[in-house]
A and B are shown apart, each in its own frame.
Chain A
């Protein structure tokens, strides 16, 4: 991988700067007007960023759209599945077994298997990613609900909480750290896996990686790849912040109460 010119040049004693096929090194080479990098097919190219910014933006928007749709749909399906699995252990075995099998299937094969069902459309990618996210989400929701201390449940029942109010008022808030940990893992891996959707033309930034491969366009591939990683990191940080805001009680008393409820969250993230 190449590095910005200033760094490379600084590493060489003056006069020994290696010859650059894209032109001699000048401090402004990467600055305004430097479309040499497009000709030289450099990995890092400011001219590419400027001239194709709309393309990058479109791809990023599609990437975010696919990721958000997949994780939200996954969550909407995983939640009732987890509740059902908690009720009946037989269902739990079936759900966990099936999602594990689905998780083993490579993503390219998954998208290929879904293509005849949905045609070449964005639904192929979203469905595939939803199926993958189910594995992580169902497990983490179950772990979170299981870790709710029995005495808390007893106390709530004693205060007259019914099953629905118990779930949304007591159990879910306490399971939130584990739930968010699951959402974080699912989101980060969904961002990465969305790129493979480029096989049906709906891969967000993956489309740019694929077209960069076809045209041997290094700047396009590297830019899209870096954006993809940044997207994953940004999503992770955003979700972490949301969790902090939603569960203020886990912060100040973290050290004071070594309760079991924080354990699943940290373990799942690890």
Chain B
């Protein structure tokens, strides 16, 4: 309880929110680098995943990538990049690490989404004379949407978590409040920083769920399909799997 009241006091002290080491600045750093890296990793991963899924090749790569991503410690990669030649280039080690760890969930889920798009629907579309790009855009992509968004959600959560760890390797962001607290043996600050980080991570997850619902191209129609063909169960399993890929930071 002592720690909680201490943390509350820390959070309600205006001085802790202002300035270059204040919460607002650290939050801005965290959100900014996370958003940039999410956009970058989408730019890298999604075209590759959609293309591989469309031509139906590279399944082993897409699946193994997430296994590899799980086994490699985020902290080690952050430190290796910081000590490497990129280390003197400001935020670049962090950006690269964040993008690297966001790619597996994005790529694996998008690939599986396209691959598992209802074959009958794809065949029917092909029979109607749709070209490759039309097929991808109007049939496979809408059908892959749930998994695509699962991947995006995992990637976003993963990036926020990894950006927290960047503080341990000398980067900015909200993690800095925690590491600085550990450095000063200031438990109140440690807990306050942790509360802020946890709140941000949960907020990002919430925003992604809301975006998922709002943008769903089959909004309202999916429910009917679900009850009939058990696709809900399938999606549930994928969620599980994607989660395992996602938060390992």
Contacts and interface: CB of A to CB of B under 8 A. Distances in A.
A195 to B, nearest CB: 4
Interface in B136-189: 157, 160-161, 164-165, 167-170, 175, 178-179, 181-182, 187
Contacts, number: 166
Contacts of B205: 104
Contacts of A213: 79, 82-83, 168-170
Given A106-B197, A112-B191, A225-B73, A136 B202 contact: no
A83 interface: no
Given A106-B164, A106-B165, A106-B249, A193 B73 contact: yes
Nearest to A113: B194
B73 A206 contact: yes
Interface stretch (B10-18, B120-128, B220-228, B239-247): B239-247
B201 A267 contact: no
B240 A139 contact: yes
Nearest to A101: B202
A268 interface: yes
A196 B75 contact: yes
A140 B243 CA distance: 12
B63 A196 contact: no
Contact of B76 (A135, A136, A216, A228): A228
Interface residues on B, range: 35 or more
Interface string B180-216: 0110000100110111011001100100000000000
B76 A224 contact: yes
A264 B237 contact: yes
Most buried by A among B72, B165, B170, B241: B241
Contact of A104 (B82, B181, B201): B201
Interface in A74-109: 100-101, 103-109
A210 B191 CA distance: 21
A233 B64 CA distance: 13
Given A115-B191, A221-B76, A268-B241, A233 B71 contact: yes
Interface stretch (A12-20, A154-162, A183-191, A246-254): A183-191
Interface in B1-24: 2-4
Contact of A199 (B79, B179, B187, B247): B179
B245 to A, nearest CB: 9
Interface string A187-208: 0110111011011100000100
Interface residues of A, number: 53
The residue among A106, A110, A196 with the most chain B CB atoms within 10 A of its own CB is: A106
A209 B198 CA distance: 25
B101 to A, nearest CB: 11
A192 B178 contact: no
A100 B244 CA distance: 10
Given A103-B247, A115-B191, A268-B241, A108 B71 contact: no
A221 B194 CA distance: 26
B136 to A, nearest CB: 23
Given A136-B244, A192-B73, A209-B75, 15 more contacts: A103-B243, A106-B249, A108-B168, A108-B178, A109-B195, A110-B198, A116-B190, A185-B244, A195-B76, A196-B73, A200-B182, A212-B83, A213-B79, A225-B77, A228-B76
15 contacts: A103-B243, A105-B197, A105-B201, A108-B194, A113-B195, A116-B4, A139-B243, A189-B244, A191-B73, A196-B74, A196-B165, A209-B75, A212-B83, A221-B79, A269-B67
Q: Across chains A and B, which 5 residue pairs bring their CB atoms closest together, nearest first?
A: A116-B3, A112-B194, A106-B161, A225-B76, A109-B197
Interface of A: 1, 100-101, 103-110, 112-113, 115-116, 132, 135-136, 139-140, 143, 185, 188-189, 191-193, 195-196, 198-200, 206, 209-210, 212-213, 216, 218, 221-222, 224-225, 228-229, 232-233, 236, 264, 267-270
